[in-house]
Chains A and B, each alone.
Chain A
Amino acid sequence: MTAGKNSRELARFALLVALAMVLSWLESLVPLSLTVPGVKLGLANLVVIFALYKLGPRQAAVISLVRVLLITFTFGNAFSFAYSLTGAALSFVVMLLLKKTGKFSLLGVSIAGGVCHDIGQILVAMAVLGTAELIWYLPALLIAGTVAGVCIGAAGALVTARVKL
């Protein structure tokens, strides 16, 4: 049957979107942010990185976008949508470009993704609040993004190496 391949792809796609969404939700249950808003591990990025390396950029982009949309419709509002979308988009574009250069391993790509996610969110926050004072939070967010990137990257590398599609 020729339908077999397509349905398997669709099922895999749906599974990854669901996984990304559940990871986002799980993460929202455990607030890591103590004093700085927006600090989190970015577990969903694990799925995006996995898709980026195993399925290709287009699929990874769609998974990331659909996750942001679903999370917004389920838990969020217009503002959280703006933060999530900008963070996710900036992080994705930078990860894609870094991966394309071939100069970084998955770990480096993940670090860049984590850091850019935080930068994207703080840029939106600055625009929404109309204040540049938020730059004050940037150092903490950069460090948090690097740590999160290492964690997610290490896990992502193991998963990518072990899971056969």
Chain B
Amino acid sequence: MPRRQTGCRLLGIASVYTKSTAWQGGGKVKQHRNDLLLAAAVLLLAAAVWFFSRPGGSGAWVVVTVDGQETGRYALDQDRTVTIGEADYNVLEISGGQAAVVEASCADHTCVRTGWISREGETIVCLPHRLVVRIQGASGELDAVAR
């Protein structure tokens, strides 16, 4: 088949499907309404979760947790570089009131791509190393003193 003809045929198929409801599963009108309602409900839930869990004011502490155990707590306003772990390592940098994992030995580097965090509640996660870096507000100060 010549190339042009194939192209025309593909376009023809595409135009049929944009007009038809085949791409929606060819179901009944009621089903499509329910599909829409489902999608809307999920997006609403997303908005609700975002609203209630969004990061708060500026943080004061950088809390490092490995395997659910807190392993370190650093003041956000003191610049420093910390290496967490040995063979499986993440390098945490605190600079100018922000924190980031700048280097890591994990495979996916999601932690490095997360970038800089500074607001209360923001987190950096490294799933392969079970590491969580979380920004905590000034209220966490008491804990630090107690330690």
Contacts and interface: CB of A to CB of B under 8 A. Distances in A.
Say whether A associates with B.
Answer: yes
Nearest to B22: A161
Interface residues of B, number: 41
Contact of A136 (B25, B47, B53, B110): B53
B80 to A, nearest CB: 22
29 contacts: A35-B115, A37-B125, A37-B127, A104-B27, A104-B31, A105-B34, A105-B35, A106-B27, A107-B27, A108-B39, A109-B25, A111-B38, A112-B38, A129-B68, A130-B67, A131-B132, A133-B132, A134-B123, A139-B47, A139-B53, A142-B43, A142-B46, A142-B49, A153-B24, A153-B25, A156-B25, A157-B24, A157-B26, A158-B17
B32 to A, nearest CB: 6
Query: How many of chain A's residues touch chain B, expressed as a range?
Result: 35 or more
Interface of A: 31, 33-35, 37, 79, 102-109, 111-112, 115, 125, 128-131, 133-140, 142-143, 145-146, 149-150, 153-154, 156-158, 160-161
B49 to A, nearest CB: 5
Contacts of A156: 25
A149 B43 CA distance: 13
Given A37-B110, A157-B23, A157-B26, A138 B34 contact: no
In this complex, the member of B23, B65, B115 whose beta carbon has the largest number of chain A beta carbons within 10 angstroms is B23
Nearest to A102: B31
